[in-house]
Amino acid sequence: MTETAKFDPRAATPVLTSRGHSGWLGLAYSDHGEDWVELTLPWRTDLLGEDGQQVLASGPIMSLMDMASGLAIWKKMDRFEPIATLDLRVDYVRPAREGASVYGRSQCYRLTRSAAFVRGLAHDGDVDDPVAHIQGVFMKIGGADTREVPNG
């Protein structure tokens, strides 16, 4: 007997990334599992980290991982409810390749009554050769998030 999952990252991502910071970055759904979600960040020359160098800035990778983490948490909760980032660490192990989309995959490996623990990585095509690793903690914050998510 399997219950039908309610929170569907594939359906929720386009809604959550239609506007705001995620919309500005152009984040899109890539893949998901039971407790993880992967999003993509398209290559854009206005997101570079230094004039004259074709290297993606680190800020957008942080945003990508923050958003993928949120979706992984909602997937693990199987519902959409307000959460806020408490702590996020990003290790930038190598620059992303010029012109490449970056994929951010985050896993919610532990959920408690008030906190959600995540870990993940960003890669530019080969998941075995990451550009960044992340670890973070999010908190449930109560109240309402007014965004309408399908089956949220």
Partner 1 sequence: MAEHPEISVLTPYARSLGIKLAKWDGDTPVMRVDFVEAVEGRPEHYHGGATGGLLETAGYAALRALLAQRDREAVLKPINITVQYLSAGKSRETYASGRVTKLGRRSANITVEAWQDNPDRPIATAVMNVLMA
Q: Can you tell me which of 87, 98, 99, 150 binds partner 1, judged by CB under 8 A?
A: 87
Q: Site residues for partner 1, window 46-65 (CB under 8 A)?
A: 46-51, 53, 57-60, 62-65
Residue 146 CA to residue 16 CA, distance in Å, equals 11
77 binds partner 1 (CB under 8 A): no
Confirm or reject binding of residue 148 to partner 1 (CB under 8 A): no
Q: Does 145 bind partner 1 (CB under 8 A)?
A: yes
Beta strands in 11-149 (DSSP E): 28-32, 36-41, 48-50, 53-56, 83-92, 102-111, 115-123, 132-140
Q: What distance lies between CA 39 and its chain's CA centroid?
A: 6
Distance (Å, whole) CA 138 – CA 20: 20
x/- mask, partner 1, residues 1-20, rule CB under 8 A, reads: ------------------xx
Q: What is the size of the binding site for partner 1 (CB under 8 A)?
A: 40
Q: What are phi and psi of 19, to 5 degrees?
A: -150, -170
Identity of the residue, 35 or 49, whose beta carbon is nearer to partner 1 in the bound complex = 49
Between CA 15 and CA 12 the distance in angstroms is 5
Note the residues at the interface with partner 1 (CB under 8 A): 19-25, 45-51, 53, 57-60, 62-67, 82, 84-92, 95, 141, 145-147
